[in-house]
Amino acid sequence: MLVEALIAICLVGALAVWLVPNRFAHKAAFAVSLLPVVVSLYMYAVFDGSGNALLGGDIAFETFAEWLTLGVYSVNYHMGLDGISLPLVVLSTVLTSLAILSAWTPVDTRQSQFYGLMLFMEAALIGVFAALDFLLWFVFWEAVLVPMYFLIGVWGGPRRKYAAIKFFVYTNIASLLMFVGFFALVFGLGDAVTSTGLPEIAQALRAGQLGGLGIVGPDMLALLAFLAMFIGFAVKVPIVPFHTWLPDAHVEAPTPASVMLAGVLLKMGTYALLRFNFTMLPEVAATLAVPIAAIAVLSVIYGALLALAQQDLKRIVAYSSVSSMGYVILGLVAYTVYGVGGATFQMVAHGLISGLLFMTVGVFYNATHTRMVGDMAGLADRMPVTAGVFVAGAFAYMGLPLMAGFAAELFIFIGAFQSTVLTAAPVFTAIAMFGIVIVAGYLLWAMQRSLFGPYRLETDYELGRAPVHDIVPIVTLVLLIVALGTAPDIFFGMIEEATIDVVDFGGDL
């Protein structure tokens, strides 16, 4: 019942914070958000799952209760965690707490509503990573959208309305496409499944029980469903060419929402790709390996080039997510233990690193009221700690050893290089690795222009050291990033155990 307790704490907390007067909302929300952190860390400590939840592994913290039946299909309340979802749940709780802490300065209106929505979103995110029934999962998946829509639309920048609507429309259409794709599979399985439970469906699909649907044969059905789900999730990830909502949403969103968006929401897409496309339809994924890898590599390079061309520091960080998510896709399509495991690890690592960078940009913006790289210079003089943290975050992004990004990318590259599923795997890997050079290029260039050199910002604001409530979350993140980088086994052990089954799909390809 611990998963339910987590969700309940967040929901009750959200309601409580929503009713608290504005001036107390921040402290109340932070206090409430510490509870899920404690609970999720406790869950990490006593985690006793093994294997993949969808492929017959032992599920930890499992709950099962009957919910609905429609015809032959039963929909059940089925929750539980395995080695893939637990790290993401921990990521969600930790990042929500830190994001709430970092909201002190930027959020100055309707605070109780803001923090209420943040906690509500945390509940939905935990649900997404824990649900093991499709309809239940979909309820949480869509429930994440609603608070994010308001977070961007109400507390965002000047073009917030446009960005919020764009985000909402894009991701909703994507959800619909994915929903149709998934149900095509369920109906295609015919009598082989009697529920919308993800484990049942995954195992039936892996056992090759997919039949045709009308005039569409089984192979074609699998292909079409794979594509529908892939595009649906690709929007969320986002992968080029479905990424155009992302910079708008990121730039307009208030800092804490950006942190959650980049840190956790994008992982919903890659998590779903792993759970649905790559776990349920490995054969199709293997057939499409080359085009998917090409899109992944394109995302890496194109995202990095776009970042290189930006003037707005927040946009730079936003576009860099596109390339990082490209690595994740490359790791997934490699179908090796290191590839898929590294991709999962990268989800966590990127969550921490991009969260860190967004928070730091937020701190700079609070102090200088500009995000234009061209307007800033010499910030390191005036805000040494924040600048230092930004440099650390950038290095983590570039994959400097002993930081989380390094571990993740190393795993992915090793995994991708060894891939037997992907034709010309070394070529794709090599091109993707070149992406790191561009990443290093734009980050170093951006830092050079904004942080170093003589201070010349013309502003009415007194520029000094950032306040403690801004420093604490970013320093905490740096520590976590170094911890994950030096001891990747904090998570990688359990991830590896859960991904071996995904990669091992019997038969020959």
The SS3 call for residue 160 is helix
* Distance in Å, CB of 121 to another protein, minimum: 13
Going by C-alpha positions, the residue among 181, 326, 335 that lies closest to residue 266 is: 326
In the shown chain, the binding pattern of residues 467 to 486 toward another protein, with x for contact by CB under 8 A and - for none, equals --------------------
User: Which of residues 224 and 307 has its CB atom nearest to another protein in the complex?
Assistant: 224
Provide the pairing of β-strand 73-81 with 60-70.
Answer: antiparallel
Q: How far apart are CA 101 and CA 105, in angstroms?
A: 9
| Stretch of 47-55, 172-180, 238-246, 312-320 lying at the interface with another protein (CB under 8 A) | 172-180
Which amino acid type is present at position 399? G
* Distance in Å, CB of 411 to another protein, minimum: 35
User: Which of residues 69 and 311 has its CB atom nearest to another protein in the complex?
Assistant: 69
Q: How far apart are CA 236 and CA 257, in angstroms?
A: 15
User: Which of residues 189 and 288 has its CB atom nearest to another protein in the complex?
Assistant: 189
Q: How far apart are CA 383 and CA 381, in angstroms?
A: 6
* Window 180 to 199, contacts with another protein (CB under 8 A): 180, 183, 187
* Distance in Å, CB of 360 to another protein, minimum: 28
| Stretch of 27-35, 175-183, 386-394, 421-429 lying at the interface with another protein (CB under 8 A) | 175-183
Going by C-alpha positions, the residue among 209, 167, 166, 162 that lies closest to residue 188 is: 209
* Helices 404-418, 425-450: crossing angle, 10 deg rounding: 160
* Distance in Å, CB of 286 to another protein, minimum: 29
Q: Does 172 bind another protein (CB under 8 A)?
A: yes
Q: How far apart are CA 88 and CA 350, in angstroms?
A: 11
Q: How far apart are CA 109 and CA 111, in angstroms?
A: 5
CB 503 within 8 A of CB 425: no
| DSSP alpha helix (H) spans, 197-312 | 198-206, 218-236, 245-252, 255-260, 266-272, 279-280, 282-287, 289-308
* Distance in Å, CB of 308 to another protein, minimum: 33
* Window 102 to 161, contacts with another protein (CB under 8 A): 110, 113, 135, 138-139, 142-143, 145-146, 149-150, 153-154, 160-161
Q: How far apart are CA 229 and CA 242, in angstroms?
A: 13
User: Which of residues 185 and 286 has its CB atom nearest to another protein in the complex?
Assistant: 185
Output helix, strand, coil percentages for the chain, rounded to the nearest 5. 75, 5, 20
- H or E stretch covering 70: strand 60-70
User: Which of residues 54 and 145 has its CB atom nearest to another protein in the complex?
Assistant: 145
- Site size toward another protein, by CB under 8 A: 34
* Distance in Å, CB of 142 to another protein, minimum: 5
| Stretch of 61-69, 270-278, 327-335, 365-373 lying at the interface with another protein (CB under 8 A) | 61-69
Contact positions vs another protein (CB under 8 A): 67-71, 73, 77, 110, 113, 135, 138-139, 142-143, 145-146, 149-150, 153-154, 160-161, 164-165, 168-169, 172-173, 176, 179-180, 183, 187, 214
